[in-house]
Amino acid sequence: MSATEETVFFDSGPLRLEGRLHRAPGPDAAVLTHPHPLYGGEMDNPVVTTLAEVYQRLGYSTLRFNFRGVGRSGGDYGDGDGEQADARAAAAHLSRLGKTVTDLAGYSFGAWVNLRLNPPLATVRRQVVVAPPVLFLDFDPVAAPPAELAVIVGDRDRMAPLAPLRALLPHWHPAARLHIVAGADHFFGAALDRLTAQVEAALAERS
């Protein structure tokens, strides 16, 4: 946990979820979602913390959190539907703090949850999708696209190969932008610095 984050708990229906909150002075906020709960995914994943750090440097409030059944979050794995409710609950928590969730950023399973939010969160204008596992999870259909969609993937990602991913992008968003991290697989590992650069580039672009 960074020095600027605090541990928080908030409700998702009858469940209590654990999160890490960074409060920035401005109104804009980002909700960050983590990889698959059944395969070790959690909010302290290095890719998720990298996303949080970039958003924080750009002046956003951020909330990364553990989906139900992970860490100190209550409940059990929700097969994607429960996790959609959790993402909505995180956005509602930020709203109660006077923040507007303009961005959703998800890694792997978290990207799948965010893209399938139906109905979408009304305030979100951009999604950042990192390593969407298109060979592992069904991304069809996705919800109505936000104003902007940026997709970031490693060129060695066997769960999100470039050819099928490029074929899917127009179905997700007519103006989706693809950012490729050279030499990175699905987990990024030693490529976190290159991932950081691509996240920064994605957030600097405007449709």
* pLDDT at res. 3: 80
Specify whether the CB–CB gap between 15 and 73 falls below 8 A: yes
* pLDDT at res. 131: 98
* pLDDT at res. 31: 98
Give the whole-angstrom CA distance, residue 48 versus residue 129: 11
* pLDDT at res. 49: 98
Give the whole-angstrom CA distance, residue 138 versus residue 59: 34
Query: Hey, which CATH number is domain 5-204, 3.40.630.30, 3.40.50.300, 3.40.50.1820, 2.30.130.60?
Result: 3.40.50.1820
Average pLDDT over residues 144-172: 94
What are the E-state strand segments in the chain?
5-12, 15-22, 28-33, 61-65, 100-107, 126-130, 148-154, 177-181
Contacts of residues 192-201 at CB distance under 8 Å and 24 or more positions apart, as own/partner, are 192/46, 192/47, 192/50, 195/47, 195/50, 195/130, 195/152, 196/50, 196/53, 196/54, 198/152, 199/50, 199/51, 199/54, 199/128, 199/130, 199/152, 200/54
Beta bridge partners of 25: none
Average pLDDT over residues 63-78: 98
pTM for this entry = 0.96
Average pLDDT over residues 152-181: 96
Question: Does residue 207 register a pLDDT over 70?
Answer: no
Beta bridge partners of 16: 11
**Higher local confidence (pLDDT), 143 or 95:** 95
Specify whether the CB–CB gap between 88 and 116 falls below 8 A: no
Specify whether the CB–CB gap between 200 and 54 falls below 8 A: yes
Share of the chain above pLDDT 70, in %: 99
Contacts of residues 78-83 at CB distance under 8 Å and 24 or more positions apart, as own/partner, are 80/112, 80/113, 80/116, 83/33, 83/37, 83/109, 83/113
